[in-house]
Chains A and B, each alone.
Chain A
Amino acid sequence: MIFRTAGQYKTSYEADQALFPVKQDFYLVLGILLLGYVVFPLTASEFTFKALLVPVLIYALAALGLNILTGYCGQLSLGTGAFMGVGAYATYKLMTIVPEMNIFAAIFLSGFFSAAVGVAFGLPSLRIKGFYLAIATLAAQFFLVWLFEKWAWLYNYNASGAIEVATSSVFGITVTGPTALPIVQYYCVLIVVTLVTWVAINLTRGRYGRMWKATRDMDIAAELVGIKLMTAKLTAFAVSSYIVGVAGGLLVFFWKGAAEPNLFDIPLSFQILFIAIIGGLGSILGNFLGAILIVALPVILNLIPSTLGIPVDSATLEHLNVMIVGALIIAFLILEPHGLARFYAIIREKFILWPFPY
């Protein structure tokens, strides 16, 4: 009943190709946006912003970037963390060279740097596929993190070897640095994530999306219908690395406040890959669901004993946490190997008829 489309007639292809051809989807997204833009800011505490909302959004964005490459174009990559680093370091350098630059301009510009690096490391994809390509991107991971450590110019010859975010403001409001309010930073991240997600949806449902998916599903046939595999793969690397780079910029400037090279090491790449896989490869929604499971759930689990007044040692809690999240990931993957997004799709399908049997 809930998702019934009876009575929603389309009289033009334009209407049929709209962002939300089904009214219920539109209202659902509207509701989520309302929650994100109005309800959370009104109710959330500083801790919620810092530990839950902002990281979920940033990780979801990074996973979205990876998903375009791995989920849509079928090119496995293990270099996500390093590409995020490129975005972060590029933003940092842009802000040191031109301190009066708008931070959003810097972040969106730095995406182009990570896109260029992504394309360069994506070149092997023209010859190799699958696990072998994953190894090639792993080279990017090691090389770039090494570069972040050794190339002192990147961190302005700091003694600590880390990059630290300076205070900057947009329209008189402090958005980065230690004095920035969490709610302001939350809004900044939310706006960027909303915008990039919308762009990603547009790209994946249009010409480029079809090129990527065709390359993923059967590359030989794609070539024989006139798709240039080189263009398809390299645009996927570029768009993916761009989004990942933007996520890296957000990670450092709107959340962490400072970063050392090892932040962008393999564990970050794997975490993003897990979010994309558990959320669902080849889906936009999945990245957000995956990020909630992987990033937000441990934080929430940590809070449960203290709010219920159960005395648990913090080390034990940490172990319990890892075990519970691990078990949940395995349970979800057994229940639905195609990820949480498919889970949602099945539920949605059910609700077309529900509560009637047919």
Chain B
Amino acid sequence: MESLASFFPNLALGFQTAVSLQNLTYCFIGVFVGTVVGVLPGIGPLAAIAMLLPATFNLPPVGALIMLAGIYYGTQYGGSTTSILVKLPGESASVVTCIDGYEMAKRGRAGPALAIAAIGSFFAGTVGTILIAVAGPPLAEMALKFGAPEYFSLMTMGLIASAVLAHGSMVKAIAMIFLGLVFGIVGTDVNSGMSRFTFGASGLADGLSFVVVAMGLFGFAEILANLERQKEASTRDLLAKKIEHLYPTLKDLKVSAGAIMRGTAIGAFFGTLPGAGPTISAFSSYALEKKMAKHPEEFGTGAIQGVAGPESANNAAAQCAFIPTLTLGIPGSGTMALMLGALTIQGIAPGPQVMTQRPELFWGLIASMWIGNALLVVLNLPLIGLWVKLLQVPYRFLFPAIMVFMSIGVYSVNNLDLDIYMTVFFGFLGYVFIKLKCEPAPLILAFVLGPLMEENLRRALLISRGDPTVFFTRPISAGFLIATILLLIVMIMPNVRKKREQVLVEEGTG
């Protein structure tokens, strides 16, 4: 491995570039702006970077990229903060954080949840940075091996795993998955160009936006449910007052350490795949932690591993998303496409040449990724006290503010007013789900994965001229399908056993 030998001199060059006062300042500005913007619900990295891109036109290339990368991490991190505090996921990857993070906050443990998210993200970011430096190009080659059949099988595995997210009734979880698939169908069919379920609204031609569905089902619905409870001596305010620890206890750290490491590994693996990397990693990690936990029943009621694992996973994935972008010039997401645009404006053609032609830029960016992650921890750990205090603001002030920011955030994605009305619709739907005790997480994941699954299924069959064996004859695809079957068996077995036990108990008593 030639890259390993040159690793340290390269990294030294990177730090030399990044640790100039000027670049550190850009990095700090980026991380700070990112955090501030990210905390506003609904405004994700894409909107933030798009708004700030012109401001970087006149900066030196290294500085511009460092600042944009800082914004990217900052918003990602800010998104977790809102997920934990007010159940508002800014991105699909944060949906999983809502489940146990928000439960922890309700139990007065918002501090430890935020801290573990920061620590997990930092660890994952560090590993991700090293990985990019050491194994970027070969990992990118792996990503190229993923064709339509591979993506389809991966998505199938993800969809099956999403059933694990629910901690209540399995039947309800499956029903929610199907509902999510239906919502995912809305929009223009990639193959034929026909509109499906758009009811003539051109705003629906590209499908329902993720932010709309997530903000509605999580944030908006939660506000409705909370308002209903206001009269009953406001459980929420009471809960917020009995905060014991601001930071995680030693026990918390011990329990989370394994979750952080496993989450990082999962995120690093899926992150290099262009597409749904962070989302799939976040909930694969959740599913894994739930299976590994001694007390899986704690999941969904505020298990700290349920925050530590997915947060590490999505940050590792976010970091590794730079691998295909930088080494191949393939953007994995809209945000990465913007970063790529910023690179070209600065006169840099992304691809393998970047590393040889502009080493100071490539390695400077990598070093600044790590510095950015470190700055985030430094910036966010002291802020935790402030965020937790925010929860103590009387709800009658807090909820209108959340509503306003949420509306701005939803609008900012597509600049479409229809999106705000749709959020209201999903808000009421989410309220009904709360009443029916149906959990929205599996719905959202099916909503995200369903369209990708369909697209790749049809593409795979189009390329194979209708021969379904491609899914089994291609080794990577076959591997995912075998894993899916194993996953199904693991999931069904305990239920069958439990049912049998139940039957036996009933027979015994009867």
Chain A bound to chain B: no
CB within 8 Å of A: which residues of B? none
